């Protein structure tokens, strides 16, 4: 029969000892870093391979592989990014910046907190080139207005891939709602909450 340790019977002075704290911190940090590295790599892979990311990085004139525009034109030109800019760069940096804060020792255990970028942080990292206070990464998930006035045409507009006209080009007024960054971050958060030391 294997040995059984009754932690309830262990004197609290053991948990409060410096040696215990240091050793448990060392083991906990190693484990948390391993889990964070794995989950973060998975998050970045999902981001890099997502059709929205790939389409935006392809620039104006690319195919609408994200399906956000029903196959018409491209997302880069519809949003109106300035030709030559990389709209996903700041969002990628935001995801790469996810890290664990300094641990705290509470009730005989180490507590690790890993802040997940919130809505405000996402908006700041993904501003529209023509509108303040809104972020394209959030609006993609809600459906962006103006699609009924979008005309995909080369060499025109900020992106040189399309313009917005006064007349109505199509009956569909919004882009197709598409799961993107908040869905990825929620999945990242849930996976971490399921992790137990």
- Segment 105-150, tens digit of pLDDT: 888 888 888 999 999 999 999 999 887 888 999 999 999 988 777 8
Neighbour count for residue 175 (Cβ, 10 Å): 24
Q: How many Cα atoms occupy the beta-carbon half-sphere of 56 within 13 Å? A: 25
Domain ranges, ordered by start, for the chain: 13-193
51-58 helix and 18-49 helix, angle to the nearest 10 degrees: 60
User: Bigger pLDDT: 133 or 180?
Assistant: 180
Helix (H, G, I), strand (E, B) or coil at 145: strand
Best mean pLDDT range from 11-15, 78-82, 88-92: 88-92
Per-residue pLDDT, 25:
86
Distance between CA atoms of residues 160 and 152, nearest Å: 9
Per-residue pLDDT, 161:
58
Per-residue pLDDT, 63:
94
Per-residue pLDDT, 146:
80
Model pTM score: 0.82
Helix (H, G, I), strand (E, B) or coil at 151: strand
User: Bigger pLDDT: 184 or 191?
Assistant: 184
Check: CB of residue 24 under 8 Å from CB of residue 111.
Answer: no
Tens of pLDDT, residue by residue over 3-62, are 333 344 444 554 557 777 888 888 888 988 999 999 999 999 999 999 999 999 999 999
pLDDT score of 156 more than 70: no
Average pLDDT, stretch 83-105?
A: 93
The full length of the chain comes to 197
Per-residue pLDDT, 72:
92
Check: CB of residue 39 under 8 Å from CB of residue 188.
Answer: yes
């Amino acid at each position: 029969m294997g040995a059984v340790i009754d932690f309830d019977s262990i004197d609290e002075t053991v948990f409060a000892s410096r040696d215990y704290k240091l050793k448990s911190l060392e083991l906990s940090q190693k484990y948390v870093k391993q889990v964070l590295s794995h989950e973060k790599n998975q998050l970045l892979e999902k981001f890099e391979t997502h059709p929205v990311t790939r389409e935006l990085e392809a620039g104006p004139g690319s195919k609408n592989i994200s399906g956000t525009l029903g196959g018409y034109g491209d997302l880069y030109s519809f949003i109106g990014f300035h030709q030559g800019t990389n709209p996903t760069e700041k969002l990628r940096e935001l995801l790469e910046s996810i890290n664990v804060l300094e641990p705290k020792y509470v009730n005989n255990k180490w507590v690790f907190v890993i802040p997940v970028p919130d809505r405000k942080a996402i908006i700041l990292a993904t501003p529209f080139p023509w509108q303040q206070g809104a972020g394209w990464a959030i609006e993609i998930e809600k459906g962006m207005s103006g699609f009924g006035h979008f005309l995909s045409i080369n060499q025109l507009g900020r992106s040189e891939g399309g313009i917005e006209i006064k007349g109505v080009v199509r009956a569909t007024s919004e882009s197709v709602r598409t799961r993107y960054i908040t869905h990825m971050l929620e999945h990242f958060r849930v996976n971490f909450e399921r992790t137990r030391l």
